[in-house]
Amino acid sequence: MKDKFSSARETQERQKATERCEVDNVWEALGKRWSLTILKNLSTKQVIRFNELKKILSGISSTVLAARLLELEREGLVSKRIYPEIPPKVEYSLTIQAKELEEILKELGKWASRWKAPKITTASATSATTPVK
């Protein structure tokens, strides 16, 4: 028979596993190339159309942009609105969930700036390799 402590421990372990799984799922979507850049650019406007976003993100293909937007939509971070027009008008925006993530991403950007490795200049590279007599 299980005692109260082992039952509580099992419950805690299940909760931790669930939390890891949720973080892994979100991180899998955010960790893909272009995802964070897309979210950053969506955060600068209320709504943005596909081609407008594509112009801002130089170097991304239409296929990759469409795939990333779909993944972010499935994760609940991006909202897609299709207008019944010809040609179809499609607008993308951040969800409330993504707007909460915006603060975390700003802090992550600050952290990355602080911890970015300093560039080695030629003078300091030379002095580092020159033997001391």
CATH number of the domain enclosing 77: 1.10.10.10
- Residue 56's domain comprises 9-101
So what's the pLDDT on residue 23?
Answer: 72
Residue 122 inside a domain? The answer is: no
So what's the pLDDT on residue 103?
Answer: 85
Is pTM, for the whole model, over 0.75? no
Query: What is the number of domains present in the chain?
Result: 1
Residue 51 inside a domain? The answer is: yes
Q: What's the rounded Cα separation, in Å, for the pair 7 and 99? A: 38
Report, as an integer, the average pLDDT of 2-23: 63
- pLDDT digits over 21-48, tens only? 667 777 777 778 899 889 988 988 889 9
Confidence of residue 122 (pLDDT cuts 50, 70, 90): low
Q: Going by C-beta distance under 8 Å and a sequence separation of 6 or more, which residues neighbour residue 90?
A: 49, 50, 80, 81, 82, 83
Q: Give, in degrees to the nearest 5, the angle at Cα 81 between 78 and 85.
A: 155
- pLDDT digits over 73-106, tens only? 998 999 999 999 998 899 999 999 888 888 888 8
Residue 44 inside a domain? The answer is: yes
